């Protein structure tokens, strides 16, 4: 099998999928993971979100089609959220739990970072995970109950905007909270141009309903994306003030909180 060129743009694509999903990617080989490659990988994350959202939409479509009404929407939404957790190995959910445990401890910076590194999950993390999953399923059910295709678009948009939040959180002026780990590899790697272009690309995704002459739905989804964008920025700023920078767990928390914000806003606007 042909080995991926570590110096080419394809290396970032491969790392983005192999590190952040459970999807098998041919040609990964023994690709070296360094700051340059990880910086490229981050730029692929919104696209990874589109793929994951599209795959998770398959059980949503199947259940909502086979069983119409609220029951089908609820079952499909639960299966979609479960599929996302499986496709990411629960990586982002784990990061959310660890981050909330550290911040919720009210301990000084170093102690909070030490709590985040522990393998177990504390009460703050457990409660946050349960609420996150419940709100995600409920919001997706509400959107899907309004219109099945709207639920699919909202799901894809939520996963893409969630990972756009990581691109934003890895901006040039954002430091790493600790010298080692994934956060140190990625922090400060994304430039202004990349962030702007990817934000515009995700905005276009939210505006897709305009193709079918549904301006109200497009405005609702774009609005949901803007709320997610704001949540990602606000959460990153709060964490940086509290911890002095970002970590791999923080990136996971950005993905989950941002995607939930998008779905919740889309549900309220449906």
Domain locations in the chain? 10-269
Mean pLDDT for 81-106 is 95
Q: Are 129 and 95 in contact (CB under 8 A)?
A: no
Q: Are 59 and 72 in contact (CB under 8 A)?
A: no
Token readout for 20 is: 């952040």
pLDDT in tens, 116-130: 999 889 999 999 999
pLDDT(244) > 70: yes
Whole-prediction pTM? 0.92
Please say if the pLDDT value at position 84 is more than 90: yes
The pLDDT confidence band at residue 232, using thresholds 50, 70 and 90, is very high
What average pLDDT does this structure show over 16-44? Answer: 81
pLDDT of residue 9 exceeding 60: no
* pLDDT at residue 28 tops 80: no
Residue tagged 């301990």 (tokens)? 107
pLDDT at 211 over 80: no
């Amino acid at each position: 099998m042909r080995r991926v060129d570590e110096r080419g743009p394809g290396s970032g694509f491969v790392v983005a999928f192999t590190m952040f999903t459970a999807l098998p990617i041919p040609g990964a080989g023994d690709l070296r993971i360094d700051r340059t490659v990880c910086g490229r990988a981050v730029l692929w994350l919104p696209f990874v979100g589109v793929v994951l959202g599209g795959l998770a939409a398959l059980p949503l479509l199947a259940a909502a089609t086979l069983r119409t009404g609220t029951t089908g929407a609820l079952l499909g939404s639960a299966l979609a959220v479960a599929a996302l957790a499986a496709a990411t190995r629960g990586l982002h959910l784990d990061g959310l739990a660890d981050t909330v445990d550290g911040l919720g401890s009210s301990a000084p910076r170093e102690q909070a970072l030490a709590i985040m590194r522990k393998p177990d999950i504390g009460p703050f993390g457990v409660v946050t995970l349960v609420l996150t999953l419940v709100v995600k399923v409920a919001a997706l059910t509400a959107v899907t109950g309004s219109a099945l295709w709207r639920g699919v678009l909202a799901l894809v948009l939520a996963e893409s905007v969630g990972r756009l939040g990581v691109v934003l959180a890895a901006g040039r002026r954002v430091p790493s909270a600790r010298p080692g780990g994934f956060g140190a590899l990625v922090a400060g790697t994304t430039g202004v141009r990349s962030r702007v272009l990817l934000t515009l690309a995700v905005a276009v995704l939210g505006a897709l309903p305009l193709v079918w002459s549904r301006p109200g739905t497009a405005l609702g989804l774009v609005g949901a994306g803007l709320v997610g964008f704001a949540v990602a920025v606000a959460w990153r700023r709060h964490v940086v003030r509290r911890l002095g920078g970002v970590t791999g767990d923080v990136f996971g928390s950005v993905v989950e909180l941002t995607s939930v914000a998008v779905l919740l806003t889309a549900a309220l606007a449906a």
